Amino acid sequence: MGTTIPLEAGPIIQPGLDELCVAPAIGVLAALDATLAAAAQQLHAAHPDLTLGGLAFGEPLSPQARSAYLLVFRCVDLRTAIREYRHVAIDNACDQLDLPF
């Protein structure tokens, strides 16, 4: 069996209270991040033939495995986008704070 396809966009985000105060949407996105991570893991567990080795050598995938492959990559892409939004939202909120120093 070859190397498995990438499942991770990083650890599941766990926003702190300070982040939630300035960008409450991050709380919902954290729940979505955890759900996407679990979905990607479950799809990969259900389709162990999703390996880079198998895909690189042109081993045919079933239609269900092909769909799972696309979903796993889309989960990783969405999780990456959530991290990007988190950074932008926090940076934007910090820029708008009127601090005396």
- The DSSP-derived string for 4-46 is BPP--SSSPP---HHHHHH-THHHHHHHHHHHHHHHHHHHHHH
Instruction: Give residue-wise pLDDT tens across range 4-43.
Output: 456 667 889 999 999 999 899 999 999 999 999 999 999 9
Q: Tell me which residue range forms the domain holding 78.
A: 33-96
Structural domain includes residue 18: no
**Total domain count, the chain:** 1
Structural domain includes residue 79: yes
Structural domain includes residue 89: yes
55 has pLDDT over 80: no
Separation between Cα atoms, residue 5 and residue 40, nearest integer Å? 10
Structural domain includes residue 59: yes
- Work out the average pLDDT over 61-90: 92
What confidence score (pLDDT) does residue 6 get?
60
85 has pLDDT over 80: yes
